[in-house]
Structure 1
């Protein structure tokens, strides 16, 4: 009986060694202070949502100074084409934080030029590394920095007295471009701070509808002549 027990323990030991070799050899990173703990908490939740393809409210995790016209679908579309695409839907794959360090990424936001940033490295059980940049917003909340999700300062013109919409969201007078002394009696120019970095739809209260991208710089919306 003793020989059988010893043999069993030896086999279990060998299996444990083999399992250890198959998984990541990197150590799990332990946050060094309160801010690092907060950053890890946000990043952990984000990674889990990506693994589960749970994209509800996913845009709330992303650093976008004005996300009015960015939808969850725009964020998920980008994630599935980013460096994180390999962990999308891989909810059973073990992935842990193995490093966190200061990062020199310059944030494209004039109201948050000196933002604190961190680079986090997550490692899977098969030793694949995935880097995520986090940035503190103006409320000191940690957000995922993925600037390729959006394009800034998109402009288009609409005939006066027309209400326009981007992806079904009304473009209010807050987004009218300042005239700088130049007045157009027929058209209003809208300056949208951030739009999706993919095709989106502009519609109007008069029935206009057009699918555009941020590269379409000459969009002009006119009243429907009936």
Structure 2
């Protein structure tokens, strides 16, 4: 009887142990299944999100990413999306520009980008998007590398034309404009075409090998920009004095009885046209022989000043990298046989080469030529 009782107790203990093991296994199995189901749900959620992004066309995705970069104020990334050469556009430019464009409400906006609608263009597409209350439109275009890029004329001017005096180099901000950007040149100007510049005030530094640096500020536009490099007042006044001395030295040669073209060679620059010395000599002679019954002599230039003229722009400025243009008022006095003295005030326009000891003539305006002028018809100053 005692032996039978022990057998029953042993069997009962084994059953309890097996039940306990079975429960633990069921619990672990249940936990594993729950974990697997959770992982599966997360995976399905991720896959669903990826499929949502994948449902966008390439043009739509470009617009989406562009707006996302603006939201994050990632201006370097914004710059990468632009469909232009961004050599002359900085992230600081974009940081200043964006709050002043139609994208202003998107800057720093963390709301979801949604309601993406495409016009369906094959090589150019207009995409409309919403981010919170902000509705924006993005124009994208397929470039030569088969990449979708953003056109944004609110940010920049494309192919900005800058006319610089011939031979003068310049920098836009801190970036040099290489001579490869010169699209045309003539006697006076080199015309540059800058691929793209931000629509904000720009600093341009022009450098002449003869006259040094000139800094100008302007806001780029669709209009061609002409760089007038004006000398400061002190420099201009020295040039006017050089012109006065040159003109009086020319008259002194004539007063000494010399009238051959070779006699005036020292006043003519090597940059002048070959026949310019003939023009100069003829003008000097005309000055003395016009109405010569009055027997004019001792013609002196008494004053040379600058003159503002809308047509010729500034009174004293860089013409090319090694020449000067001067727009002048000239006063002359002389003696005549019938009276003690005469005088006149005339206008003049010279192109000059600056030398170590003064200036030399390169060219002059036939209609504004103070060398040959000698009459009592005084011009208004």
- TM-score bucket of the superposed structures, by smaller chain: 0.5 to 0.7
2:126 corresponds in structure 1 to 119
Correspondence for 1:61 among 77, 81, 84: 81
- State yes or no: 1:156 paired with 2:162: yes
Distance in 1, Cα, partners of 2:219 & 2:103:
24
Distance in 1, Cα, partners of 2:184 & 2:167:
17
Distance in 2, Cα, partners of 1:171 & 1:98:
40
Aligned pair in 2 of structure 1 residues 201, 57: CA closer, same or farther (>3 Å)?
farther
Q: CA deviation at 1:49?
A: 1.4
* Equivalences for residues 1-226 of structure 1 within 5 A: 37-64=57-84, 66-91=85-110, 93-103=111-121, 116-126=123-133, 128-179=134-185, 183-184=186-187, 187-205=189-207, 206-215=212-221, 217-221=225-229, 222=318
Aligned pair in 2 of structure 1 residues 155, 145: CA closer, same or farther (>3 Å)?
closer
Q: Could you tell me whether the CA contact under 8 Å between 2:206 and 2:213 is conserved in 1?
A: yes
Post-superposition CA distance 1:2-59 (Å, at most 9, x none): xxxxxxxxxxxxxxxxxxxxxxxxxxxx6898xx532233222221211111212422
Aligned pair in 2 of structure 1 residues 117, 144: CA closer, same or farther (>3 Å)?
same
Q: Could you tell me whether the CA contact under 8 Å between 1:152 and 1:192 is conserved in 2?
A: yes
Aligned pair in 2 of structure 1 residues 124, 217: CA closer, same or farther (>3 Å)?
closer
Looking at secondary structure, tell me which structure has more helix per residue: 2
Q: CA deviation at 1:149?
A: 1.9
Aligned pair in 2 of structure 1 residues 39, 137: CA closer, same or farther (>3 Å)?
same
1:27 corresponds in structure 2 to none
Q: CA deviation at 1:170?
A: 0.7
Q: TM-score, normalised by structure 1?
A: 0.65
Question: Cα RMSD (Å) of the superposition?
Answer: 3.1
Distance in 1, Cα, partners of 2:74 & 2:53:
26
Q: TM-score, normalised by structure 2?
A: 0.41
Secondary structure of the structure 2 residue equivalent to 1:40: helix
Higher relative contact order (CA 8 A, sep 6+): 1
Distance in 2, Cα, partners of 1:142 & 1:198:
26
Q: CA deviation at 1:163?
A: 2.8
Distance in 2, Cα, partners of 1:193 & 1:220:
22
Q: Could you tell me whether the CA contact under 8 Å between 2:126 and 2:140 is conserved in 1?
A: yes
Q: Could you tell me whether the CA contact under 8 Å between 2:60 and 2:116 is conserved in 1?
A: no
Post-superposition CA distance 1:131-150 (Å, at most 9, x none): 21211111111111212322
Secondary structure of the structure 2 residue equivalent to 1:147: coil
Distance in 2, Cα, partners of 1:134 & 1:170:
29
1:16 corresponds in structure 2 to none
Distance in 2, Cα, partners of 1:101 & 1:177:
36
Task: Point out the more displaced range, 138-147 or 193-202.
Answer: 193-202
Which has the higher Rg, Structure 1 or Structure 2? 2
Distance in 1, Cα, partners of 2:194 & 2:132:
42
Distance in 2, Cα, partners of 1:157 & 1:123:
42
Structure 1 gaps, min length 5: 1-29, 104-114
Secondary structure of the structure 2 residue equivalent to 1:148: coil
Aligned pair in 2 of structure 1 residues 214, 96: CA closer, same or farther (>3 Å)?
same
Q: CA deviation at 1:160?
A: 4.5
